[in-house]
Structure 1
Amino acid sequence: MSHPSKGIMVVTGGSRGIGAAISLLAAGRGYDVCINYSTHGDRAQGIAAQIEEIGQKAMIFQADVSQEAEVADMFRAVDNKLGPVSALVNNAGISGGSARVDELDGHALDLMFHINIKGTFLCCKEALLRMSTRHGGKGGGIVNFSSAAARLGAAGRNVHYAASKAAINTLTFGLAQEVAAEGIRVNAISPGMITTEMQDPERLARMTPMLPMQRAGSPEEVAQAALWLLSDEASYVSGTVLGVSGAR
């Protein structure tokens, strides 16, 4: 049975890991949710089914966030099925593989920067066109995904990924200032080592004893932080990068 929605959320990369945890927690908090996915459609459908069991509306939409037309189509579909978005979580991203800078190739860089940076910009643009009071909207919230790597540098592993996430930090602060008077708050989450499929199990096992808390974080712990940033409890929080990294 569907209940009045607290709002409408788009979660990119919402079919698994942190994105799935955010989608489910958002539904539990009263949001209707659009689960964006690139490949795992069956898993996106499974998350949507769980959301509907909670009593909220859900839809899935396949889109490559780095493709402007696909992103625009997704937000129009959300308009038609759920209504104008009020919360956006830019979770979609790729690691770009493990390599030193002198081992990288341009194609791999293009792919990663297009998804991690361009994709976040494109989704923010479509959300702003619906949320901003400048465009007749009622306000809303955006949570971008950075990484502790942006601060740690990721030397010898993936400096390229760290650089893409440092760009997200700058986007978050600049955009927050740009739309602060238009009813929109923009923040970012900077996760540390989290137990998701993107994490290499061998590296996780090797690194865990060296982490300050001697454990990795869970997707659910990251989801809690994201929902707090979108809540009224964080009503004066904007332009902030919130570390969820267990003191690392």
Structure 2
Amino acid sequence: MKNTEKTPEKKTDVALVTGASRGIGRAIAARLAREGHAVLVNYASNEPQAAEVVREITQAGGRALAVRADVSKPDEVKHLFDVAERTWGPVTVLVNNAGVGQHQETIAQTSDALYERIMSINVRGTFNTLREASQRMPAGSRIVNVSTSVVGTLNPGYAVYAASKAAVETMSRVFANELRGRDIRVNVVAPGPAATELFFEGKSQELIDAIIKRAPMERLGTVEDMVRVVAFLVGEESGWVHGQVLRVNGGMV
């Protein structure tokens, strides 16, 4: 007798990666696309770079769409989730990578404008995406927020940046508890210094060498070092990992 039952269609895994037009965010988007996710490539201003990310993913056989949004604005974050749902379905993977750094300015030197910008993107931006995710992500979803190892190393000149990411870590762990019973995992990746364009910007070779020496492994991290950890936290092998902060920094303290 012929089996007429239809095999259930596998639901699309939809990943939203904020700040995905360059650096670590771009690499995360590409990795998730290779693993079969449909990827929403969020960017704040650089449309050509975001378009290039989408082009690379689609040429490799993946699915991707670039969407501009300022994550510090709630309505624009809602728009990101709306676009994802209209295009592929609900977001099931959220990677909060969008962020603003700080270049060695003491508290005394930090302007009101820089303080507001860092807190607006890093803290309010994460808050906005988590709040939207709490209302729209289904069971089985995964959230990875990006922090920094400067929260632990307490480098002079990075007070506001470190404070903003400490807020992200605390908010993430509380959020993980608030999602009790919903089967949505929340974790944090806290990279150490990685060899990205943003890291090298404005630094002397002497400073770069000193930073490298601080880690017992005596090298800068690579983008792939970070991406592998994000992929692990998004994947099934980390199914019992929840509410954790993973410092990916070569042992730097």
Tell me if TM exceeds 0.5: yes
Superposed CA deviations along residues 146-192 of structure 1, whole A, max 9, x for unmatched, are 1101111122x111111111111101110011103112110000100
Identity of aligned residues (%): 33
Distance 1:224 1:193 in 2: 16
Three-state SS of the structure 2 residue aligned to 1:209 is helix
Q: Tell me the distance in 1 between the aligned counterparts of 2:211 and 2:232.
A: 28
Equivalent residue in structure 1 for 2:56, among 23, 47, 50: 50
Counterpart CA distance in 2 for 1:209 and 1:186 is: 32
Deviation at 1:98, TM superposition (A): 2.4
Q: Are residues 1:113 and 2:114 paired?
A: no
Q: Unaligned stretches of 5+ in structure 1?
A: 132-136
State yes or no: 1:208 paired with 2:209: no
Q: Give 1:6 deviation, angstroms.
A: 5.2
Tell me the residue number matched to 1:228: 232
1:10 to 7, 16, 20: 16
Decide which moves more: 21-30 or 44-53.
44-53
Which amino acid counterpart does residue 19 of structure 2 have in structure 1? G
CA distance in 1, matches of 2:136, 2:43: 21
Determine if the alignment matches structure 1 residue 242 to structure 2 residue 246.
yes
CA shift digits 1:61-83 (9 cap, x unpaired): 11111011111111111111121
Is the CA contact (8 Å cut-off) linking 1:5 and 1:31 kept in structure 2? no
Q: For the residues of structure 2 that align with 1:34 and 1:128, how far apart are their CA atoms?
A: 18
Q: Report if the CA contact (8 A) 2:215-2:249 is conserved.
A: no
CA distance in 2, matches of 1:128, 1:240: 18
CA contact (8 A) 2:144 2:186 kept: yes
Q: Which amino acid aligns with 1:38?
A: A
CA contact (8 A) 1:5 1:30 kept: no
Counterpart residue number, 1:178: 178
1:1-248 → structure 2 map (5 Å cutoff) = 7-131=13-137, 137-155=138-156, 157-200=157-200, 201-202=203-204, 203-248=207-252
Deviation by residue 1:106-138 (Cα, 9 ceiling, x = unmatched): 22111110100000010112222221xxxxx33
Larger Rg: 2
Is the Cα–Cα contact under 8 Å of residues 14 and 36 in structure 1 kept in the other structure?
yes
Kindly indicate whether the alpha-carbon contact (under 8 Å) linking 1:27 and 1:54 is maintained by their aligned counterparts in 2: no
State the number of aligned residues: 240
Q: Against the structure 1 CA distance between its residues 204 and 40, is the aligned structure 2 distance closer, same or farther, given a 3 Å change threshold?
A: farther
Return the alpha-carbon distance in structure 1 between the equivalents of residues 95 and 25 of structure 2.
8
Tell me the distance in 2 between the aligned counterparts of 1:178 and 1:223.
27
| 1:139 positional shift | 3.2
More displaced 10-residue stretch of structure 1: 68-77 or 96-105: 96-105
SS at match of 1:182: coil
- The question of whether the paired residues in 2 share the 8 Å contact of 1:193 and 1:216 is answered with yes
Task: Tell me how far apart the structure 2 counterparts of residues 57 and 5 of structure 1 sit (CA, whole Å).
Answer: 14
> How many angstroms apart in 1 are the aligned matches of 2:45 and 2:209?
28
Look up the SS of the partner of 1:143 in the other structure.
strand
Partner of 1:134: none
In 2, distance between residues paired with 1:245 and 1:144? Answer: 16
Report how far residue 5 of structure 1 moved.
6.5
Distance in 1 of aligned mates of 2:12 and 2:35: 8
Q: CA deviation at 1:206?
A: 3.9
In structure 2, C-alpha distance between the alignment counterparts of 1:173 and 1:210, rounded to whole Å? 28
CA contact (8 A) 1:96 1:109 kept: no
- For 2:18, the aligned partner's letter is T
The CA deviation at 1:56 is: 2.1
